[in-house]
Amino acid sequence: MKTKRLYEMDPYQVSMEAVVKECILQNEEKLIFDQTVFYPEGGGEPGDKGCLYIENEPGEWILWTEVTDTREENGEIVHYVKKPLPVGTKIRGEIQWKTRYAYMQNHTGEHMVSGRVHEKYGYDNVGFHMSKDSVVIDFNGELNWEQLMEIEEEVNQGVDDNLSVKVEYPSRDELSGMIYRSKKEILGQVRIVIVPGYDSCACCGMHVAKTSEIQMIKILSVQNHRGGVRVEMICGRDAREDYRKKHEQSVEVARSFSVKPYEITLAVKRMLEENSRLKMQLSQVQARLAEEIMDRMEDGQRTIVLTEEGSDSILSEGCDPNQVRRLVNLAREKAVHVLALTRGNKEKEYRYIIGSGEDARVLAKEMNEKFAGRGGGSSMMTQGSLFGNGNEMEEYFKSITGEEK
Ligand SMILES: [Zn+2]
């Protein structure tokens, strides 16, 4: 006898009493019951989690273990548990209702959006995934933000209208006359979920009974995906939570800018413009300063090392590579060999530029060998990266260039 699927008959049933029919002890511990309210993962909807209780004394149930996941395997509904139970044990099972109900809200909202997109644009939902944070739908056609906002408005009207969601089990004959969305040819009994005026779809998942339970449908993002689009949306309690978090964030940002929450986009834009203007000014000042320092250096030196560390540093932090190259060229007017060292992105990483009146490639090779580096270039200028201690790099460069050959 297959497990009786109580969740299909009533998705609002939270608990059940059942008997252990099979206990599987392979890599993981799994139980199969004679009947269950636990929905097994399928159709983009995660499997239920929950708790199992056993009867300690007649009428007294104590917690036995958690159900960490529910899946359908070889046509059986298996409950993943942390502690097994012998066949024949009577149990009480209870699903994590808060999570399940959020999935029901999101799943029904997804039906309405997919159904309306299909009706208006003829696109199919070719991928669907629900997680803790959002619902992701892939459509096989392109939709822009304005079109999706129109869809959002329409489906939320359906939420306001408090429509009854129907589940039908049509015969093969009845089915042949029905128009419904379906991802694949289904063998056996087909379950059709109908949101009147919005969607008719073959689906085995869990849905709410009335559309007002969805509370609201909010589309969060759209991006191009495999010739179509990937749409992210959220419904019900999850949407409320999302709104709360985003509201708190926008209030905080607004406060730090001393503007109203609706003005933060403008405030951020202004700050970014100001920021890039300041950056440009700073880089001009830094360049001028570096040139002046360089001007005062004495001519005819053997080696100059430019770094961004220490009080006498000539390179400013985050100095852009073009500027470093320009400074190396200026320093070359004062010395035969020049090394510029700037911090890389990785730990202990330095970027180097070597300018030389002899052969920069020979110097780069020696530096690369000594400091696990890589890079190269022309005889006049080389560049690359090194790993290790900046002071040691400086000392080593001086030692290999110090004496005239
Ligand atoms: Zn469904």
Distance from the alpha carbon of residue 234 to the mean position of ligand 1, in angstroms? 15
pLDDT of 311 over the 70 cut: no
Distance from the alpha carbon of residue 109 to the mean position of ligand 1, in angstroms? 9
Least-confidence region, from 140-154, 172-186, 194-208, 297-311? 172-186
Those residues with Cβ within 8 angstroms of residue 381's Cβ, 6 or more apart along the chain or in another chain: 325, 328, 353, 354, 355, 356, 360
pLDDT of residue 379: 94
Q: Note the CATH number of domain 4-95.
A: 2.40.30.130
pTM of structure: 0.77
Name the fold adopted by 298-401. Diaminopimelate Epimerase; Chain A, domain 1 (3.10.310)
Give the pLDDT band (50/70/90) at residue 293: confident
pLDDT of 40 over the 60 cut: yes
pLDDT of residue 185: 67
Distance from the alpha carbon of residue 43 to the mean position of ligand 1, in angstroms? 7
User: Which percentage of the chain shows pLDDT scores above 90?
Assistant: 80
CA distance 81 to 50: 10
pLDDT of residue 314: 78
Distance from the alpha carbon of residue 318 to the mean position of ligand 1, in angstroms? 52
Distance from the alpha carbon of residue 205 to the mean position of ligand 1, in angstroms? 5
Arithmetic mean of pLDDT over the chain: 93
Give the pLDDT band (50/70/90) at residue 331: very high
Here the tokens at position 249 are 């964030």
Distance from the alpha carbon of residue 126 to the mean position of ligand 1, in angstroms? 14
Give the pLDDT band (50/70/90) at residue 312: low
The closest of 327, 326, 344, 356 to 386, measured between CA atoms, is 344
DSSP single-letter state for residue 261: G
Give the pLDDT band (50/70/90) at residue 15: very high
Instruction: Say if CB 10 and CB 36 are below 8 A apart.
Output: no
Q: Measured at the alpha carbon of residue 180, what is the angle toward residues 177 and 185, in degrees to the nearest 5? A: 90
Distance from the alpha carbon of residue 209 to the mean position of ligand 1, in angstroms? 12
**Helices and strands, number each (H, E), in the chain:** 9, 20
Distance from the alpha carbon of residue 241 to the mean position of ligand 1, in angstroms? 23
For the stretch 76-127, pLDDT in tens is 999 999 999 999 999 999 999 999 999 999 999 999 999 999 999 999 999 9
Here the tokens at position 386 are 């090194």
Distance from the alpha carbon of residue 324 to the mean position of ligand 1, in angstroms? 60
Distance from the alpha carbon of residue 288 to the mean position of ligand 1, in angstroms? 66
Distance from the alpha carbon of residue 177 to the mean position of ligand 1, in angstroms? 21
Distance from the alpha carbon of residue 108 to the mean position of ligand 1, in angstroms? 6
DSSP single-letter state for residue 312: T
Domain ranges of the chain: 4-95, 101-249, 298-401
In this prediction, residues 157-175 reach a mean pLDDT of 94
Tell me phi and psi for residue 363, to 5 degrees. Answer: -65, -40
Q: Check: CATH 3.30.980.10 for 101-249?
A: yes
Domain 101-249 identical in fold to domain 298-401: no
pLDDT of 307 over the 80 cut: yes
CA distance 378 to 329: 14
CA distance 404 to 19: 91
Distance from the alpha carbon of residue 11 to the mean position of ligand 1, in angstroms? 12
Distance from the alpha carbon of residue 255 to the mean position of ligand 1, in angstroms? 42
Which strands sit side by side in the sheet containing 374-377, from one edge to the other? 301-307, 335-343, 349-356, 381-387, 374-377
Distance from the alpha carbon of residue 207 to the mean position of ligand 1, in angstroms? 6
CA distance 237 to 218: 11
Distance from the alpha carbon of residue 208 to the mean position of ligand 1, in angstroms? 10
Instruction: Say if CB 235 and CB 215 are below 8 A apart.
Output: yes
Those residues with Cβ within 8 angstroms of residue 83's Cβ, 6 or more apart along the chain or in another chain: 29, 64, 65
Amino acid letter, 42: G
Distance from the alpha carbon of residue 323 to the mean position of ligand 1, in angstroms? 59
Distance from the alpha carbon of residue 13 to the mean position of ligand 1, in angstroms? 17
Give the pLDDT band (50/70/90) at residue 184: low
Distance from the alpha carbon of residue 22 to the mean position of ligand 1, in angstroms? 29
Residue recorded with tokens 């749409």: 231
